[in-house]
Homo-oligomer: A and B are copies of this chain.
Amino acid sequence: MNLVIITEADSIGKGCYRLADKRAKHIRTVLRCQVGDKIEVGVLNGPQGIAQIEKIDDNEIVIECLTLKLKPIVPPVVDLICALPRPQTLKKVLTISATMGVHRLDFVRSNRVEKSFFHSPVLQKENYTPFLIEGLSQGKHTRLPEVYIHDRFKPFFQDTLPKLNRGEMDLSCRLLPDPDVSVNLKDIHNSTNNRLLIAIGPEGGWVPFEIELMESLGFRRFSLGRWVLRVETAVAGVLSQIELVRMMK
């Protein structure tokens, strides 16, 4: 918990917030704070800065925010499309994506996705949001990714995707990791500031029909490297490669 995420629900007025859940436990037992100590906090989808511990006991902690400032969004903005993974993997993908600043996550049906995955309780907003917030705490920022679930493949790509308003996004920024090609991310991603859309396949990969449909919509294939990666490792890998390309400009 590198940043304690707070929300309006925690507010008790005058810039003070009351925490009584695992955040309080973390502040007490890991950070080992006392009254007067300062911690880093961020308001969910809002500014972040420093807060001071005003009260601390076994039941609750009260903090007062001293400085809070909105952090600017540094491009490129990245969105992910991800074949819906099994629930345990989904949790990791949510946390890693939130940590690494993904703006929007679209989980889609694919040929190699088991139908049962769509019945997981994790797909309920109140169940998946804690994994996103854990990711924000880790990555030290406050912007909660938007999450959407699509239980059909073709309608998502053919009907939903074209209608999304992604601002400056253009077709050259739709990317598709694929172990069978030799071009790399730097070869095909050279318009630094544009919004990027990356499609991550299921365990076993997209089937040819799915790749063909995505390519017809402007997705370009690239290689993440020599190894066949698990879904959550591929997500961390592609977002890290995007960071390297961004820093190389």
Contact = CB atoms under 8 A, between A and B. Distances in A.
Given A238-B240, A240-B238, A241-B241, A247 B223 contact: yes
A184 interface: yes
A138 interface: yes
Given A236-B237, A237-B237, A99 B229 contact: yes
A65 interface: no
B247 A184 contact: yes
A248 interface: yes
A20 to B, nearest CB: 24
A181 B243 CA distance: 14
B248 A186 contact: yes
Interface in A177-230: 182, 184-186, 223-230
A173 interface: no
A233 interface: yes
Interface residues of A, number: 35
A225 B245 CA distance: 10
A139 B234 CA distance: 12
Given A74-B226, A139-B227, A230-B138, A244 B186 contact: yes
Contacts of A2: 228
Give the interface SS of chain A, mostly helix, strand, loop or mixed: helix
A101 interface: yes
Interface of A: 2, 74, 96, 99-101, 138-141, 182, 184-186, 223-230, 233, 236-241, 243-248
Given A186-B248, A233-B236, 18 more contacts: A74-B226, A100-B225, A101-B227, A138-B229, A139-B227, A139-B228, A140-B228, A184-B244, A224-B240, A225-B240, A225-B244, A225-B246, A225-B247, A229-B236, A236-B237, A237-B240, A237-B243, A241-B241
30 contacts: A74-B226, A99-B228, A99-B229, A99-B230, A99-B233, A100-B225, A100-B233, A101-B226, A101-B227, A138-B228, A138-B230, A140-B227, A141-B227, A182-B247, A186-B244, A224-B240, A224-B243, A225-B239, A225-B240, A225-B244, A225-B246, A225-B247, A226-B243, A227-B243, A233-B236, A236-B236, A237-B237, A237-B240, A238-B240, A241-B241
